[in-house]
Structure 1
Amino acid sequence: MILIGQYDSPFVRRAAIAAVLYDLPFENRPWSTFGDGDRIAQVNPTRRVPALQLDDGGVVIDSANILDWLDGLQRERGAATLIPASGVERREILHLTALATGLSDKIIALFYEKVLHEQTSAIWLERCRAQIAASLEALEAARAVASTTWLRGEALTHADIALGCALQHARESSPDEVDWSRWPALVAHNAACEALPAFRAVYRAFTGPADS
Structure 2
Amino acid sequence: MAIKLYGAALSPFVRKTRVFLAEKDIPFESVHVDPFNAPEDYSNINPLRRIPAMEHDGRLLADSAVICAYLERAFPETPALYPMDAADYAHALWLEKYADYELAPLTTFTVFRNRVIMKLMGKPSDEERIARALTEKLPPHFAYLESQIKGREWLAGEQFSIADIAVASQFANFAHGGEHLDPQQYPSLAAHVDKVLSRPSFSALLERENSFVAKLRGG
With normalisation by structure 1, the TM-score equals 0.79
5+ residue gaps, structure 1, are none
Cα distance in 1 for partners of 2:5, 2:38 equals 14
Choose the corresponding residue for 2:26, options 24, 41, 59. Answer: 24
Distance 1:46 1:171 in 2: 28
> Residue 108 of structure 2 aligns to which amino acid in structure 1?
I
Distance 1:39 1:159 in 2: 33
1:171 and 2:170 matched: no
Pairing 1:95-174 to 2, within 5 Å after superposition: 95-101=94-100, 102-111=102-111, 112=113, 115=118, 126=132, 130-146=136-152, 148=153, 150-174=154-178
SS, match of residue 28 in structure 1: strand
Q: Deviations over 1:124-180 (max 9, x none)?
A: 97478644222111111212231x3x22354211111112211111111252x8656
Corresponding pairs, count: 203
Asked if 2 retains the 8 angstrom alpha-carbon contact of 1:99 and 1:135, the reply is no
Q: For 2:182 and 2:141, how far apart are their aligned partners in 1?
A: 14
Asked whether the 8 Å contact 1:4–1:52 carries over to 2, the reply is yes
CA RMSD, Structure 1 to Structure 2 (Å) = 3.1
| Maintained 8 Å contact 2:165/2:196 | yes
- Would you say 1:200 and 2:203 are equivalent positions? yes
Specify whether residues 130 and 94 from structure 1 end up closer, same or farther in structure 2 by C-alpha distance, changes over 3 A only: farther
Question: Alignment partner for residue 192 of structure 2, among 189, 192, 202?
Answer: 189
Give the aligned partner of residue 61 of structure 2.
Answer: 60
CA–CA separation in structure 2 for the residues paired with 1:33 and 1:66: 18
State, as a whole percentage, how many aligned pairs show the same letter.
24
CA gap 1:28/1:181 in 2 versus in 1, 3 angstroms: farther
Secondary structure of 1:71's aligned partner: helix
**Aligned-partner Cα distance in 1 for 2:38–2:75:** 31
User: Which structure is richer in relative contact order (CA contacts within 8 A, separation 6 or more)?
Assistant: 1
Give secondary structure in 1 for the equivalent of 2:61: strand
Structure 2 gaps of 5+ residues are: none
What CA distance in whole angstroms lies between the structure 2 residues aligned with 1:174 and 1:123? 15
